[in-house]
């Protein structure tokens, strides 16, 4: 189809009725949130909630200034500039009901690598009250196993030495804080929206450590003027494919260079710990709670761990999408047994949801064929995900001397994953910043399985756990001699 409109403010009134468009005068939206990490997830989640607040409740005080810091974000930054911050969100329910919405809550955008000082100055301006983050697990530079901030990470070290060309969120924000302090301006609420255990507490202790090392005179200001609420965010959001772009063009006569595809389910739970006014997010379904831990544990250990498990066993079985694996009986029974036997004993129901309802909901969300979520997205950077999503369950089961069979099988399958070929001898790409090391130790594990676990940064004490080591070695030998499909059937029949 050649008859299409480019997505931008001017064309909004002419877009077809099949797209829900923004109805407010966007010039009247005032910015008070600086969001770092304008990725698909942010665009499907936090930016969507602000958009709903603007559109349904005429709340014009919490527009978003989008900030990207990574080289890889340049393309999206240019597109957002081109499209006046607008983009389409394709919300796909598993019952086949879909909605296409233009989201208009991102009203400004800055790109750090292009002009770091202008970016720092913008965040330091007095109108910004909340700095929110989706910088992914690896953006926090945590030691995989201890969960502690890794001051020795090369990018962090570099930032602590060269303040004019920062690369990390720490390098940027310490300068922002200094400006605010110098100008006698109030502080911020820093709202982490990443899948990290106690994300607010974690980023707080990372900042304290970073500031202590680089500019300790700022510590009292930081302690007094910044709050770090924990939050739990949940909405499956895929990597955009060229087909999605074509779909918007063909079905809605609109050319959006980078639409976002997500499921219809969405959830956001935030600890009520804000420095100043916060958006009345509860009007659009956000829940403010005192203690986030039960929500977080349930989500990280069921949904995110479930994703990682399907990602590993699915890739080895030759699948490419989450829904294919979730609709495969052997794979899903394995996952359900893992959740029932090893996860459930260590988590509790939340105020609003029982473990079994959440589990069933997650399984049916995984089966949604319309979002076509790729296993490559799930397995990307799994060396920073498995320690957060799977190890807490494993270590608690070990501590309580309870079954670890499924966890040990998963870690053995994860080792086999680094052989880089599926059961049909087809190679797949491994996208992980620790891949060199993991591929090397997985290769060595053919002779001596324990060598995979000797990857100290990732496994730390697990290698000293006799029972775990024994079960891991056993499953690895099975997985290297039988196709994974057969291993899963035998596991499900308790015959392995
Ligand atoms: C996924 C998450 O990255 C992953 O491994 O599990 O991105 C997941 O889709 C979101 O956390 C859903 O809320």
- Per-residue pLDDT at 145: 61
Atom of ligand 1 nearest to the CA of 267: 13
Least confident of 67-71, 329-333, 335-339: 67-71
What does the pLDDT read at residue 163?
81
CA nearest ligand 1 atom 4, residue: 378
Q: Considering only CA atoms, which residue is closest to atom 8 of ligand 1?
A: 236
Q: pLDDT tier at 277 (50, 70, 90 boundaries)?
A: confident
pLDDT at 146 over 80: no
The count of residues in the chain is 496
CB 326 near ligand 1, within 6 Å:
no
How much distance in Å is there from the Cα of 447 to the middle of ligand 1?
34
Mean pLDDT score of the chain, rounded to an integer?
A: 94
- Cα(208) to centroid(ligand 1), Å: 28
pLDDT digits (tens, 9 = 90+) for 153-162: 889 899 988 8
- d(C-alpha 286, C-alpha 187), whole Å: 24
- What pTM, to 2 d.p., does this model score? 0.95
pLDDT of 38 higher than 60: yes
Summarised one tens digit per residue, pLDDT across range 163-193 is 888 999 999 999 999 999 999 999 999 999 9
Distance 125 CA to ligand 1 centre (A): 33
pLDDT above 90 covers what percent of the chain? 87
Q: State the distance from the centre of ligand 1 to the C-alpha of 307, rounded, in angstroms.
A: 7
Closest CA to 373 of 430, 317, 431, 319: 319
| Beta pairing partners, 102 | 88
Q: What is the pLDDT of residue 92?
A: 96
- 34: enclosing H helix or E strand: strand 31-36
Nearest protein CA to atom 3 of ligand 1, as residue: 378
Give me the mean pLDDT over the 114-135 stretch: 96
Res. 1: pLDDT tops 60? no
* d(CA 374, ligand 1 centre) in Å: 11
pLDDT at 144 exceeding the cut of 70: no
Q: Cα torsion at 207, 208, 209, 213 (round to 10°)? A: 100
CA of 368 relative to ligand 1 center, distance in Å: 14
Helix ranges (H only) for 287-348 are 293-298, 305-316, 322-326, 329-338
With a 6 Å cutoff on the Cβ, whether 342 touches ligand 1 is: no
Structure tokens of 349? 């129901």
pLDDT at 471: 97
Q: Is 307's C-beta closer than 6 angstroms to any atom of ligand 1?
A: yes
Question: Does the structure show a pLDDT above 90 at 425?
Answer: yes
**pLDDT at 293 exceeding the cut of 90:** yes
What is the predicted pLDDT for the residue at 137? 77
Among 238, 378, 379, 381, residue to substitute to test ligand 1 (most atoms within 8 Å of Cβ): 378
Q: List CB contacts of 253: < 8 A, sequence separation 6 or more.
A: 1, 3, 4, 5, 16
Q: Which two tokens stand for residue 251?
A: 């079905």
**Site to substitute for ligand 1 among 134, 236, 374, most atoms within 8 A of C-beta:** 236
pLDDT score, position 2:
62
Residue 143 has pLDDT above 80, yes or no: no
Residues in CB range of 340: below 8 A, 6 or more apart? 359
| Ligand 1 within 6 A of CB of 92 | no
pLDDT band of residue 377 (cuts 50, 70, 90) is very high
CA pair distance 123, 58, nearest whole angstrom: 24
Mutate to test the pocket of ligand 1, among 237, 307, 382, 414 (most ligand atoms within 8 A of CB): 307
Whether 236 is in the pocket of ligand 1, judged by its Cβ within 6 Å, is yes
Beta strands at 267-271 and 226-227: parallel, antiparallel or unpaired: unpaired
**Ligand 1 pocket residue status of 378, Cβ below 6 Å:** yes
Q: Is the pLDDT of residue 433 over 90?
A: no
What are the pLDDT digits (tens) for 56-109?
Answer: 999 999 999 999 999 999 999 999 999 999 999 999 999 889 999 999 999 999
The answer, yes or no, to whether residue 212 has pLDDT greater than 80, is yes
Structural domains of the chain sorted by starting position, each given as residue range(s) with its CATH number in brackets: 5-289 (3.40.50.720), 293-492 (1.10.1040.10)
pLDDT of residue 477: 97
Going by C-alpha positions, the residue among 299, 272, 306 that lies closest to residue 286 is: 272
């Amino acid at each position: 189809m050649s008859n299409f409109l480019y997505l931008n403010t001017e064309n909004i009134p002419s877009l077809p009725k099949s797209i829900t468009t923004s109805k407010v005068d966007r010039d009247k939206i005032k910015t008070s949130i600086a969001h770092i990490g304008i990725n698909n997830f942010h665009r499907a989640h936090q930016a969507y909630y602000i958009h709903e607040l603007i559109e349904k409740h005429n709340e014009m005080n919490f527009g978003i200034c989008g900030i990207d810091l990574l080289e890889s974000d340049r393309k999206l930054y240019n597109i957002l500039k081109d499209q006046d911050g607008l983009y389409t969100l394709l919300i796909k329910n598993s019952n086949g009901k879909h909605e296409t919405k233009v989201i208009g809550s991102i009203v400004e955008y800055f790109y750090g690598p292009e002009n770091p000082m202008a970016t720092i100055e913008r965040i330091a301006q007095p109108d910004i009250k909340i700095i929110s983050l989706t910088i992914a697990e690896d953006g926090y530079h945590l030691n995989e196993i201890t969960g502690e901030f890794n001051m020795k990470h090369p990018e962090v070290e570099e930032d602590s030495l060269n303040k004019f060309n920062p690369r990390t969120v720490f390098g940027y924000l310490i300068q922002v804080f200094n400006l605010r302090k110098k100008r006698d301006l109030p502080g911020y609420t820093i709202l982490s929206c990443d899948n990290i255990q106690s994300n607010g507490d974690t980023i707080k202790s990372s900042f304290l450590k970073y500031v202590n090392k680089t500019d300790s005179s700022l510590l009292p200001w930081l302690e007094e003027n910044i709050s770090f609420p924990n939050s739990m965010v949940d909405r499956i959001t895929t990597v955009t494919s060229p087909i999605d772009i074509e779909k918007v063009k063909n079905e809605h006569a609109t050319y959006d260079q980078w639409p976002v595809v997500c499921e219809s389910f969405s959830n956001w739970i935030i600890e009520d710990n804000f420095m100043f006014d916060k958006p009345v997010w509860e009007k659009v379904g956000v829940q403010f709670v005192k203690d986030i831990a039960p929500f977080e544990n349930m989500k990280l250990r069921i949904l995110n761990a479930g994703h990682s498990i399907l990602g590993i066993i699915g890739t080895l079985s030759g699948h490419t999408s989450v829904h294919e694996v979730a609709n495969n009986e052997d794979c899903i029974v394995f996952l359900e047994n893992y959740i029932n036997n090893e996860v459930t004993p260590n988590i509790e129901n939340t105020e609003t949801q029982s473990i079994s309802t959440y589990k069933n909901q997650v399984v049916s969300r995984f089966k949604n064929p319309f979002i076509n979520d790729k296993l490559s997205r799930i397995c990307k950077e799994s060396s920073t995900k498995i320690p957060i999503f799977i190890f807490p369950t494993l270590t608690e089961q070990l501590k309580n001397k309870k079954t670890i069979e499924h966890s040990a099988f998963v870690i053995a399958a994860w080792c086999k994953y680094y052989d880089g070929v599926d059961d049909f001898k087809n190679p797949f790409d491994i996208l992980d910043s620790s891949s060199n090391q993991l591929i090397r130790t997985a290769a060595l594990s053919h002779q001596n399985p324990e060598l995979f676990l000797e990857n100290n940064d990732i496994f730390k004490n697990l290698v000293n756990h006799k029972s775990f080591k024994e079960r891991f070695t056993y499953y690895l030998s099975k997985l290297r001699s039988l196709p994974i499909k057969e291993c899963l059937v035998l596991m499900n029949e308790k015959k392995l």
